[in-house]
């Protein structure tokens, strides 16, 4: 299993959609929201993800195709 920490930025049109739920459900990715700020017009989430490498790659592709800006955060995923 691989782990990554992602910084996701959501445009206004996706704020009300269950994008993180769908990510976990469709790609069998374990998600852990570490921090988040969701407002009416935008949102961001620091998300830890764990899955096989192929599942993580497919999941990140899914997010980007939906219009989510995905930035990988380097470092230990256990640290705050």
Split at pLDDT 50, 70, 90, the class of 24 is very high
Q: Tell me how far apart the alpha carbons of residues 4 and 28 are, in angstroms, rounded to a whole number.
A: 14
The pTM score is 0.88
What pLDDT is attached to residue 74?
85
CATH fold group of domain 2-73:
Alpha-Beta Plaits (3.30.70)
Residue with tokens 């997010």: 63
Alpha helices per DSSP H over 1-80: 19-27, 53-66
State pLDDT tens for residues 32-54: 999 999 998 999 999 999 999 99
């Amino acid at each position: 299993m691989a782990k990554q920490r992602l910084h996701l930025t959501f445009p206004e049109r996706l704020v009300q959609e269950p994008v993180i739920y769908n990510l976990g459900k469709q790609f069998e990715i374990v998600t852990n929201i570490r921090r988040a700020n969701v407002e009416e017009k935008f949102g961001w989430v620091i998300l830890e993800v764990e899955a096989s490498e192929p599942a993580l790659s497919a999941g990140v592709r899914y997010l980007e195709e939906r219009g989510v800006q995905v930035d990988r955060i380097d470092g230990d995923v256990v640290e705050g």
